């Protein structure tokens, strides 16, 4: 099975930033030009880039589509975009701005029938977000934690027949503390869809562990920006180890 190392470009007010555990008060700015960052990740070998509209996630409506258009012009990589996609118009706007895949989080929790309609219409271009905090699902840009257990939302995604799911452990997001391997393993074992992992990736060994569990890919953010992971080297190592299996 293939495995994608997926750099994340989180956009807030048009800048490339990283948050810690989704906390907007704990922001680090890594650049004023997200398109230039996308170009650099593409040059390093990224086949997929994850773009998050942080303003959109909090407000409920995409706010950085201009940055997405600029990123689209800078790369041929598959662009996976999320943040504020809560109605058909927002999804169409994101696709027209250059998104190849769209990520829905809140909708899986609150509007499962809409997710079914989107799956029929978009097929493999739809990614459902499973954002967990201490075993419970968070929504609305991670500003609200529901009573729904992670396992229950995975079961719902299975029943809806989705192709892709993005599992994020919010407690690890942006911390460089390593992924929650046990929780991720539970999700991968339970899911009938391909799982992308996010949260805490800090080393090549973390990426190897995520792939070994059976995930289809991993989102990498802060570790790339700090230089703890070199994207080109990570992609090469994972590809070489896969060839040896």
Query: How far, in whole angstroms, is CA 193 from its chain's centroid?
Result: 15
In the chain, % of residues over pLDDT 90? 72
Q: Does residue 199 or residue 76 have the better pLDDT?
A: 76
From the candidates 55, 131, 169, 173, which is the catalytic residue? 131
Q: Is the pLDDT of residue 242 over 70?
A: no
How would DSSP label each residue in 177-194? Answer: S---HHHHHHHHHH-SSE
CB neighbourhood size of 214 (10 A): 16
Spatial contact of 188 and 221, defined as CB atoms under 8 Å apart:
no
**Averaged over 89-99, what is the pLDDT?**
98
* Residues spanned by the domain of 116: 4-244
How many domains is the chain partitioned into structurally?
1
69 CB burial (10 A radius; 0-12, 13-18, 19+): middle
What residue has token string 């699902």?
A: 137
Active-site residue, 169 included: no
Rounded to the nearest 5 degrees, what angle is found at the Cα of 64, between the Cα atoms of 63 and 69? 140
The pLDDT value recorded for residue 191 is 98
- pLDDT for 174-208, tens place per residue? 777 889 999 999 999 999 999 999 988 999 999 99
- pLDDT for 102-122, tens place per residue? 999 888 888 999 999 999 999
93, 45, 166, 31: CA torsion to nearest 10: -60
CATH number at residue 102: 3.20.20.70
Strand (E) or helix (H) holding 238: helix 231-244
Spatial contact of 106 and 119, defined as CB atoms under 8 Å apart:
no
**Averaged over 152-175, what is the pLDDT?**
90
Active-site residue, 10 included: yes
Strand (E) or helix (H) holding 94: helix 88-97
The pLDDT value recorded for residue 141 is 66
From the candidates 10, 53, 173, 206, which is the catalytic residue? 10
């Amino acid at each position: 099975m293939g495995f994608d190392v997926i750099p994340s470009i989180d956009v807030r007010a048009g800048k490339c930033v990283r948050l810690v555990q989704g906390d907007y008060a704990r922001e680090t700015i890594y650049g004023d030009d997200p398109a230039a960052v996308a170009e650099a990740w593409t040059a390093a070998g990224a086949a997929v880039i994850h773009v998050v509209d942080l303003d959109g996630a909090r407000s409920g409506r995409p706010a950085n589509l201009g940055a997405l258009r600029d990123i689209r012009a800078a790369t041929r990589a598959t662009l996976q975009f999320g943040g504020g996609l809560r109605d058909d118009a927002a999804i169409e706007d994101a696709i027209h701005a250059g998104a190849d895949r769209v990520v829905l989080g809140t909708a899986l929790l609150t509007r499962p029938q809409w997710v079914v309609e989107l799956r029929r219409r978009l097929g493999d271009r739809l990614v459902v977000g499973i954002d967990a905090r201490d075993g419970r699902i968070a929504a609305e840009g991670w500003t609200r934690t529901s009573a729904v257990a992670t396992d229950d939302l995975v079961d719902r995604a299975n029943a809806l027949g989705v192709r892709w799911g993005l599992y994020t452990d919010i407690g690890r997001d942006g911390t460089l503390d390593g992924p929650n391997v046990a929780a991720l393993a539970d999700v991968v074992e339970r899911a009938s869809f391909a799982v992308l992992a996010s949260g805490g990736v800090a080393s090549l060994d973390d990426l190897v562990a995520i792939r070994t569990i059976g995930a289809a890919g991993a989102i990498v953010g802060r570790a790339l920006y700090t230089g703890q992971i070199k994207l080109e080297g990570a992609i090469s190592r994972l590809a070489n180890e896969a060839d040896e299996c």
